[in-house]
């Protein structure tokens, strides 16, 4: 994905997903999983997290997920060749960008 975008963003905002966040600490700090820490260090971006129980902060992200699902993944896809599916999805994305 980063290659397709032309690079890695300086900062990426995440929900408090369990593969990334082990525990939410006081003062907005997060105890991250080792795997996620390695991912962040490898790509060199800053990670920001939504506040717990603040759905208004992640509404845009969820709206974009819904857009992608509705415009690219529905009706349900029957995948025979993953490489062909990836080419098709990248092609559709370029038309909407």
Condensed to tens digits (0 to 9), the pLDDT of residues 60-81 reads 777 888 888 888 778 877 788 8
**What is the arithmetic mean of pLDDT over 19-46?**
95
Domain total in the chain: 2
Predicted pLDDT at 97:
61
Single out the residue in 38, 53, 68 at which a domain terminates.
Answer: 53
**What is the arithmetic mean of pLDDT over 7-27?**
92
Instruction: In whole angstroms, give the CA distance from residue 87 to residue 66.
Output: 21
Predicted pLDDT at 11:
94
Looking at the structure, tell me whether residues 13 and 58 fall in a common domain: no
Determine phi and psi for 14, rounding to 5 degrees.
-125, 155
Looking at the structure, tell me whether residues 47 and 58 fall in a common domain: no
Looking at the structure, tell me whether residues 43 and 33 fall in a common domain: yes
Predicted pLDDT at 96:
66
Looking at the structure, tell me whether residues 1 and 47 fall in a common domain: yes
Looking at the structure, tell me whether residues 41 and 59 fall in a common domain: no
Residue 41's SS3 state is helix
Domain boundaries, position 34: 1-53
In sign, the C-alpha dihedral spanning 75, 79, 84, 90 is positive
Looking at the structure, tell me whether residues 49 and 83 fall in a common domain: no
Identify the residue whose tokens are 């790509």: 43
């Amino acid at each position: 994905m980063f290659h397709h975008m032309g690079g890695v963003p300086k900062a990426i905002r995440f929900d408090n997903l369990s593969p990334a966040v082990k525990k939410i600490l006081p003062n907005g700090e997060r105890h991250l999983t080792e795997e996620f820490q390695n991912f962040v260090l490898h790509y060199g971006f800053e990670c920001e997290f939504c506040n717990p129980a603040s759905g208004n902060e992640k509404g845009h992200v969820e709206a974009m997920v819904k857009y992608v699902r509705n415009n690219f993944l529905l009706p349900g896809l029957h995948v025979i060749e993953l490489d062909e599916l990836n080419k098709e999805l990248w092609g559709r994305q370029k038309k909407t960008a």
